[in-house]
Amino acid sequence: EAQVTQNPRYLITVTGKKLTVTCSQNMNHEYMSWYRQDPGLGLRQIYYSMNVEATDKGDVPEGYKVSRKEKRNFPLILESPSPNQTSLYFCASSLARRSTDTQYFGPGTRLTVL
Amino acid sequence: DAKTTQPNSMESNEEEPVHLPCNHSTISGTDYIHWYRQLPSQGPEYVIHGLTSNVNNRMASLAIAEDRKSSTLILHRATLRDAAVYYCILRVQTSGSRLTFGEGTQLTVNP
């Protein structure tokens, strides 16, 4: 089954403790991205990647890192999480970056930073 | 990016058609109109997209005004599973695959 998977689905952590949220897709998609969703602010893009070893900032990249060493994986790294990064995170992928390409979203990771 | 305007919420009865409106008066000639929906506790999922002509797929129909300043997503027979937040999004050629989500329309389907 074609899908985007994220792990963990739920995470509670403390300020400053490094964490990684994994994202994997099995559709051989070139384009992957991360969004965060907050009440009243909608979904906002954090980082995106157009292919292996090609990443770029989205609208809200501060406090986050990403890497794309393999085509299928696109982990989101929080080196020193802070409470304002408490949010619902979604990974997404699409075949390419054309404006007609459908984006497929993962199930989400709910992160709480205390 | 061009902005879209949608009602905050709408209600429908099960098995009746639903028309979800979207205004995008600043749309440019190459912007595609996409609709995504987000069911409770899930990630957004693609519904349909179009440029100028009306479009149909197994999930819904998209009716685009002749001047392209508005569009309507049509669910032909709403089911309880269609209760979700529906997002109307303009895909700008220059911004590639970034999706700019607004607040969307919360659709409630009554049994």
The structure tokens 């659709």 sit at: B107
Q: For chain A, report the end-to-end CA distance as a whole number of angstroms.
A: 36
Structure tokens at A66: 């990403």
- Which of A44, A103, A107 is opposite residue B42, by nearest beta carbon? A107
CA angle A34, A40, A45 (to 5 degrees): 15
Mean pLDDT of the residues in chain A = 95
What are the tens digits of pLDDT across the range A48-60?
999 999 999 999 9
Residues 6+ apart with CB under 8 A from B15: B77, B78, B79
Residue A84: φ, ψ to 5°: -75, 0
Residues of chain B with Cβ-Cβ distance to A90 below 8 Å are 43-44
Q: Which residues of A touch B41 (CB under 8 A)?
A: 108
The string of pLDDT tens digits covering residues B68-100 is 999 999 999 999 999 999 999 988 766 556 778
Question: What's the pLDDT at B84?
Answer: 97
Q: Which residue of B has its CA nearest to A32?
A: B97
Residue type, B98: R
Closest CA to A30 of A49, A16, A46, A13: A49
